[in-house]
Chain A
């Protein structure tokens, strides 16, 4: 074998030294005492932008102050962590981790119930396993909040929830028990043989019929009691309808209490989702949306945000036309975009949004905007921007630490902090 003596420009020694410092200071896992984080580069993703030599002060799990080191004095004796780069804890806008487990056996695959095409009554909180290994895995790359729940693959597959990537029980992890109702338009929700839906047109007809039923249910349930008139005695109001979990959930979508998260990849399926939202006036969030770059104007006009497929998703079947440049295209058009880890049926069992955003960053989006797709913009789409997604006073102290540019292949995530507690300190 030839002797290989390639040397590279980057100073590994410096990075190693930094990692060592950090490993020492992070030894306080479980500690929730006041905390100071000093970062050479601090991406707040908030009004303060990026701060060189920044400081974050954390108290009671919340961010107390953020700013340049020249303005913030770290009180003596305070627990302190130094890092090269700090970002908000990453927010995965769409995953199935926790319902889908690492082993890919029936025992740990609860993300998709195939017994019926429309089951919005399926709650994510009844299926999420906070101790799933994949939750800890994504957390070790800086992911602190996940919007997880039922997968694409049925017309309406169930509900989603939002959790922090910690906790022994769902209650300890929970931010939002019912975040959205997940629907799928396109071939992956179609059935073989005589089962419905077998075609695109049938799928939309079924959804429309179900929404009409929900409208009728709401009208019946919420009807005001008939007013007494001068000539007739007050009549007893008609009995309310029996509770129907399915129609209740769709009713909440129709009342815009919950968005309908519609997975659609082909352009015609995305168009169908937009048409459906216009007819029933629900809040639509597009999911996956491989061919969304073909319908930029339509999506923009409808004011619909996009939780885009993983950048490295496989281009096959209905995703065959996906592009690594879509996030850039949509964002340039002014569409609110997040990048998701999505759902994987085989290897790898989950994707990691840090990696997916990195590829988008290198394909037109740029690092700052790419970071937004997995922090503040993801939080905005999920409606939790008041709590997570940026480093601002009053927000949860969810922070990810890196030993360099977070998107570089060879940079490691060296620490993950949730509400002031170090939950991961193994360099990854």
Chain B
């Protein structure tokens, strides 16, 4: 084989590609791509000025300085002046026109959100416009247990199968959504009080423990195997620690209730929202339970969130709690996910912790830290090219890449429309407020809930 031809080709390709970041044509799938000249914030290590990010076949194959060796034949993209960060991990999103459990019961572990997601929902365009490359799509908090969540990458569809994240055995990954406090209260069959809520959850987990015992007892006696029960099967996964509980909780006493149940049943749990976590930061740290937080622009809107503080993130950081952020999209906008961490910084969080809370920490909470969350060789080529400092209001997400494919490019007018909004950008979106209707009265009179 004549070695000079590929070498010559590589020079030609490099010359062409180096011209601009707005380069549109899709690379050949197997051609390595080197992004050169950016400030790289790998999260796994110190920032690299004038760095090089090398990807191939959907994976990161090199992260280094300007002198990083670039293989012959690689396409070179000049990203001088830009900043590259890992793709963001959103541990709690409701994008996709989704649904979970219905009103027939408050605990429905057999229900899967995967069976409701519309991969064409324009919300996914906003997700990638915000630099999010991994998300946990969840049913709502209007139930004690509203169903199984699904971990996805917004790769663009067309089918939900194209978005799923599979485990080593090829099964779709996901967690279990639970809630306490006022959202999950209601008329029977829903719990009417906090104590009843906890009792119902405990009874359900005890049933799951009994079911698990029967399955274990049947290991050597197949004739003793109990009938399949979709809900209990999923809860056995929770008891086994292979399915993480994602638990909505706001008030400090409700947070403590989750920790109490966690201790009793030994499941793995991530505390979500945690408006009053700042009151029990040491207890959360002692329990070694991670928190997925939301920071919103003002407290209130519901009693449980009336003592929410932007300082919460800094307080938990100091207490040594593993912290991630989440959009809770529709509550906050996926396009502005970087902004949430910046608000954490505004209120005292370190920049390092804030960036980790958008990336690797969320990946850890989803058991995906081997694959995503940092820029390291061997990990998925999920990254975001920013115009500048990740925590500046003036910084734009210019491109978002998932597994080596560009899924968002702000210079493309269609993507720009989704990034800024405009005519047609929100067409098939629907708000997802788990328990909005139940708030009743004045709250339901929102001008934005126009019946169109």
Contacts and interface: CB of A to CB of B under 8 A. Distances in A.
A352 interface: yes
A133 B355 CA distance: 31
A352 B429 CA distance: 25
Contacts of A363: 420
Contact of A324 (B345, B421, B427, B443): B421
B43 interface: yes
Contacts of A348: 296-301
Interface of B: 41, 43-47, 296-303, 305-306, 310, 322, 330-331, 333, 336, 339, 342-343, 345-347, 351-353, 355-356, 360, 364, 374, 389, 391-394, 396, 420-427, 429-431, 433, 436, 439, 441-452
Contacts of B423: 291, 294, 321
Contact of B421 (A104, A112, A321, A347): A321
Nearest to A346: B301
Interface stretch (A61-69, A119-127, A402-410): A402-410
A128 interface: no
Contacts of B346: 409-412, 428
B298 A345 contact: no
Given A345-B446, A411-B346, A5 B420 contact: no
B338 to A, nearest CB: 8
Contacts of A409: 339, 342-343, 345-346, 391-393
A323 B296 CA distance: 20
Contact of B446 (A114, A346, A408): A346
Given A4-B356, A6-B355, A410-B345, A317 B450 contact: yes
Interface stretch (A73-81, A254-262, A354-362): A354-362
B429 A6 contact: no
Specify which of B296, B301, B360 lies most central, judged by the most chain A CB atoms within 10 Å of its CB. B301
B208 to A, nearest CB: 31
21 contacts: A4-B45, A4-B352, A7-B47, A8-B389, A102-B300, A153-B446, A153-B447, A184-B447, A312-B336, A323-B425, A344-B446, A345-B445, A345-B446, A345-B447, A349-B300, A355-B297, A407-B393, A409-B346, A411-B346, A412-B346, A428-B346
Nearest to A363: B420
Dominant SS among interface residues on chain A: loop
Contacts of A6: 41, 43, 46-47, 351-352, 355
A144 interface: no
A409 B301 CA distance: 23
A151 B443 CA distance: 12
A15 to B, nearest CB: 11
B393 A362 contact: yes
A385 interface: no
Interface residues of A, number: 76
A316 B94 CA distance: 14
A343 interface: yes
A131 to B, nearest CB: 15
A151 B331 contact: no
Interface string A309-334: 00011111111111111000000000
Contact of A4 (B300, B343, B355, B433): B355
A407 B393 CA distance: 7
A2 interface: yes
Contacts of B448: 188, 313-314, 316-319, 345
A260 to B, nearest CB: 17
B426 A5 contact: no
A44 to B, nearest CB: 22
Contacts of B442: 104, 106, 109, 111-112, 345
A3 B47 CA distance: 12
A248 B308 CA distance: 44
A190 interface: yes
Given A8-B351, A362-B394, A344 B301 contact: yes
Contact of B425 (A8, A312, A318, A321): A321
Nearest to A366: B394
Contacts of A359: 336, 393
A347 B310 CA distance: 14
B431 A316 contact: yes
A109 to B, nearest CB: 4
B314 to A, nearest CB: 12
Given A153-B447, A188-B448, A349 B389 contact: no
A408 B392 contact: yes
Interface of A: 1-10, 101-106, 109, 111-112, 114, 133-134, 137-138, 151-153, 184, 186-188, 190, 192, 263, 265, 288, 291, 293-294, 312-325, 343-352, 355, 358-359, 361-363, 407-412, 428
B425 to A, nearest CB: 7
Contacts of A105: 303
Contacts of B436: 346
A351 B330 CA distance: 15
A188 B450 contact: yes
Contacts of B296: 347-348
A343 B300 contact: no
A342 to B, nearest CB: 8
A193 B264 CA distance: 51
Contacts of A102: 298-301, 306
Nearest to B275: A347
A187 B431 contact: no
Nearest to A411: B346
A407 B299 CA distance: 20
Nearest to B349: A410
A103 B306 contact: yes
B426 A346 contact: no
A8 B394 CA distance: 16
A187 B451 contact: yes
Contact of B301 (A7, A186, A347): A347
Given A314-B448, A322-B421, A325-B422, 20 more contacts: A6-B43, A10-B389, A101-B300, A104-B301, A106-B442, A134-B300, A186-B450, A188-B448, A188-B449, A316-B448, A318-B452, A319-B426, A323-B421, A325-B421, A343-B447, A344-B446, A345-B445, A345-B446, A346-B433, A359-B393
A4 B357 CA distance: 11
A361 B451 CA distance: 31
Contact of B422 (A313, A319, A323): A323
A315 B449 contact: no
A316 B427 CA distance: 8
A5 B330 contact: no
A348 B364 CA distance: 28
A4 B443 contact: no
A5 B352 contact: yes
A66 B322 CA distance: 49
Nearest to A8: B351
Contacts of B427: 320
B290 to A, nearest CB: 11
B429 A320 contact: yes
Contact of B389 (A4, A9, A106): A9
A428 B309 CA distance: 11
Contact of A410 (B342, B355, B451, B452): B342
Contact of B391 (A294, A319, A410): A410
Contact of A112 (B297, B352, B445): B445
